Structure 1
């Protein structure tokens, strides 16, 4: 299949109709090439995903045709694993894309049709989306669970949580999806570069809140809306880091005007082709007469890129998120670098399903999501922060955050887009 992905040199992504064509081709390929192995790995031979309009299971959105912006009435999707692959059946009032129709209202009730499909499949284990540790895999509502259980009768005894299957489906990316995310990361980085330039930022005039809204508007105007309101933080000499439950964080308020001499970090992520990005970029606002950041900030940046490399090296298939966290922190400690690692999966959702590698406010091993195993073919936001002191700021501490997109391969990680290699500068106005 020849894939057309957004060109990062363009000012707009693919037109919506072309995006829908691409997404529907991806869904067909994922049902054929990805889902059978995931169902085998989870030991589930029938997966039922059900949701109602305006209250969809997060997984359901990834199985519907791209032109469906939500469920229509109630949609029940049944994916049956057999020797021939996976047979997708929809018990729905309306046709559902690639799914075979399993119901016509003339034939009786919707739940009766679900029961008939299950009886024909005769599954050993029926997976449903219930999870205590992964929100996107916990989309089966109480009322839908009750209705499904009542409809299945004795078959309900074979219901099991489909947590591992749902996580695998959400976290696994096709090579073509990875290529698209590479382009989308480049586009995100380009917009972030514009934000830390005179195109969006005038030292002495622009506030942090102004810049965050500039980013939000810019992404919306490009047709790649953000999945969270962009974050902008500033650090400056004379404004020490504040303590937030033991975590030192920037203390310059959002309504403060950004001034020459500030260290500014922007955090943004967009959504296109059903995929999300999550990146951070940092820049220094030059004082009059300066041509480069102070050496102390340069050293902090160098330390940050070193921890970034060490964390990338720790991302190894087969390790758990907690094991990656321990390895990355141990490597940083061995080099005398004060670091926090809090990387996370990214793909269908910005904070995606899959192994979590620490949290910014909790560097202890995490139960549940931290115990999941990393798999090749998944994409992560490699996110971290380093703490350092700046002699030119009277020994004041800074907390420098970095975040890049990476794809996990059988041999390690590869960066997506163009990682930030140096601390950017913004000229004095």
Structure 2
């Protein structure tokens, strides 16, 4: 299971030092190749990203060197769009990777500095000077009511920035569209890495959903969740959320929750033959994360696989995935893609909930949301965003199917794969689960 970046002979996960080299190279390429077009699309002439140690903007880690695990004191990044591309400048006490230095501590020549040129007043004076020289019409800052990932500028820093800019503060606008574009758009090399990481996620889940780990009559759902967590963390690809394991079994019907019926078997219940187990997990590496689900059946004595009703449910789920992937068309909004997917599924008699989302830097990433698990009417704001090529999505949904072998009980089968959106449509990443797994007794 190899990672194509940077060396096809290396396996996942890469050592931390090599990961840092890859991430820093990606950042240079993103600043050169992606950011100018994204700023033009958003109508932003100059982008200010402000972060303070202990209170980082969610965007800041995507712009800092990989060896910076957090901000250091006050960091102000100035990204100016000009005819030559984007000029990245850092107003920081410490050098910031490939950003040009916009301030030198101790330089008391900064206009407006009243602390000897060595403190934050001098930093803000330098920010004012750089912005004034750039003379932008629209200055983007990370303030947003609709996208949490684009709302990283704290109230205190916003006040300090406004005071420092003076009359230029009237040019401040929300950088929400720019932030979303920056976070959702992946380089080809990043897509290749996510493909390899998805394969590795599948491998870990296959190890856990196997007789070596899952022992009916002994293992609980909580045991499986912690085993996934420990394996990922121990291999240097820690999970970005605690893995979730749900169990469905005959005689334990779904329970209503927020208008949706969900599995009711408790986490501390010992798994039994005849159970359907679904594991939801995602790992992190190279500044990227994955998000996948895998399902397995525990056969009863005398069974060599899932009963026909569960196989039909699985086929329905796979078909729902195909129809949802076909609805992911560049230029559509998330809500339009949701409506198209649901209409196509209804035409084939499939009952499903779609709740897909971008994935990349963040697991529930910036970009168009395609439904919520508890609301299929469309998502105001985030669902109105347009789908763009080079975005990776977690294609997540659930189908509801009655199982004759379970006395006509309703099953809610959740599935999740990753796809990359191209100009030609959605293409699968990783190793998609083609059939319901079986975990025989050890």
On whether the aligned pair clears a TM of 0.5, the verdict is: yes
Of 360, 378, 381, 1:347 maps to 360
Rounded to whole Å, the distance in 2 between the matches of 1:255 and 1:263 is 15
**Change in CA separation of 1:200 and 1:293 when aligned onto 2, cut-off 3 Å:** same
Rounded to whole Å, the distance in 2 between the matches of 1:7 and 1:212 is 31
Is it true that 1:320 corresponds to 2:333 in the alignment?
yes
| Secondary structure of residue in 2 paired with 1:374 | coil
Note the 1:5-404 alignment, pairs <5 A.
Answer: 10=11, 12-107=12-107, 108=117, 109-404=122-417
**Change in CA separation of 1:386 and 1:261 when aligned onto 2, cut-off 3 Å:** same
What's the CA shift for 1:6?
A: 7.9
What's the CA shift for 1:7?
A: 7.2
Rounded to whole Å, the distance in 1 between the matches of 2:358 and 2:145 is 18
The residue number in structure 2 matching 1:4 is 6
The residue number in structure 2 matching 1:425 is 438
| Secondary structure of residue in 1 paired with 2:246 | strand
Residue ranges of structure 2 left out of the alignment (5+ in a row) = 108-116
Rounded to whole Å, the distance in 2 between the matches of 1:23 and 1:368 is 31
What's the CA shift for 1:35?
A: 0.1
Residue ranges of structure 1 left out of the alignment (5+ in a row) = none
Contact conserved, 2:403 with 2:410, CA < 8 A, in 1? Answer: yes
- TM-score normalised by L of structure 1: 0.98
> Which sits farther off after the overlay, 101-110 or 149-158?
101-110
Rounded to whole Å, the distance in 2 between the matches of 1:309 and 1:150 is 53
> Which sits farther off after the overlay, 189-198 or 261-270?
189-198
> How many residues are paired up?
426
What's the CA shift for 1:352?
A: 0.3
| Secondary structure of residue in 2 paired with 1:383 | strand
Rounded to whole Å, the distance in 2 between the matches of 1:270 and 1:227 is 6
Contact conserved, 1:49 with 1:128, CA < 8 A, in 2? Answer: yes
Rounded to whole Å, the distance in 1 between the matches of 2:328 and 2:81 is 31
What's the CA shift for 1:132?
A: 1.0
Runs of 4+ in 1 over 4 A off after TM superposition: 5-8
What's the CA shift for 1:330?
A: 0.5
- TM-score normalised by L of structure 2: 0.95
CA deviation profile, 1:216-242 (whole Å, cap 9, x unmatched): 001001100000000000000010011
Contact conserved, 2:289 with 2:359, CA < 8 A, in 1? Answer: yes
Rounded to whole Å, the distance in 2 between the matches of 1:6 and 1:314 is 33
Rounded to whole Å, the distance in 2 between the matches of 1:19 and 1:68 is 13
